[in-house]
Amino acid sequence: MVKLTIVGRVCDGLPLAQGQRYVNEKNDNFSSYKQQGEFILEEISRGTLPLSTMTISVDQHCFNYMVENGVCFITLCDSSYPIKLAFHYLQDLQREFEKFDMTLLEKITKPYSFVRFDGIISSTRRQYIDTRTQANLSKLSANRRQELDIVTEHISEIFERRRRTEMLEMMMEAPRNVSPVWGSKSLEVIALKWTPISIILMVAAVLLWTRDVYWLPLSM
């Protein structure tokens, strides 16, 4: 069953459209899955996930996504739903999406504001609810021997990789440890006050020393 669909822009990770929500079980956490879908879109935008196709496992479900012409199409399905059929669904959405003027879509600034595509997502999704229809069985049987070459990963691995990246960035951006004494404003004031005096005393000492070295033998 196709439960969630998100269409987003890759360049900035902005979600443009979503299909009608599907919740069939009381324990289905739609908000959590939606946040995870948006997280996946963000990671694709950051360049940490492939700009092609991928399947990401989560609980008893999996996210499937494909990227075409700078647009990402993501769907959440039951883990038992045929992956091949899920990508047929995404390909149908991609073909419908390309019928729109891309220059207008580039001007969208608010999340999920491309509501015109929400209806297309819902109507396309209805065609893929029943996997046993003649149309869907034909899609599954076509090129049956051809295996889908799709990278698969669990979402926990992606979360962990993001956490490590953020920790590394924080370590690189953190200022060097400075002693609270040497880094204090009061010490800076003292240094500005006494540095000129110290220089004068050092110059006077050098002059006295040179006088003793050169003038003392002459006096003898």
26-57 tens-digit pLDDT: 555 788 999 999 999 999 999 999 999 999 99
Q: Which residues pair with 2 in a beta bridge?
A: 77
Q: Which residues contact 117 (CB under 8 A, 6 or more apart)?
A: 7, 16, 17, 96, 97, 100
The domain 2-173: what is its CATH number?
3.30.450.50
- What is the rounded CA–CA span in Å between residue 63 and residue 58? 8
Give which of 59, 29, 56 is closest to 41, Cα–Cα.
56
74-99 tens-digit pLDDT: 999 999 999 999 999 999 999 999 99
166-209 tens-digit pLDDT: 998 888 876 655 555 445 555 555 556 666 666 677 767 766 66
* Exposed / middle / buried, residue 202 (Cβ in 10 Å: 0-12, 13-18, 19+): exposed
CA end-to-end distance (rounded Å), the chain: 110
114-128 tens-digit pLDDT: 999 999 999 999 999
135-170 tens-digit pLDDT: 999 988 876 655 567 889 999 999 999 999 999 888
Q: Which residues contact 129 (CB under 8 A, 6 or more apart)?
A: 1, 2
| DSSP code at position 81 | S
Q: CB neighbours (10 Å) of residue 143?
A: 10
Task: Write the DSSP assignment of 117-143 as a string of letters.
Answer: HHHHHHHHHHTTS-TTSHHHHHHHHTT
Whether 14 contacts 38, CB under 8 Å:
no
Helix runs in the chain, H state only: 30-46, 83-97, 102-105, 116-126, 134-141, 155-173, 185-219
pLDDT score for 182? 47
- Predicted TM-score (pTM) above 0.85: no
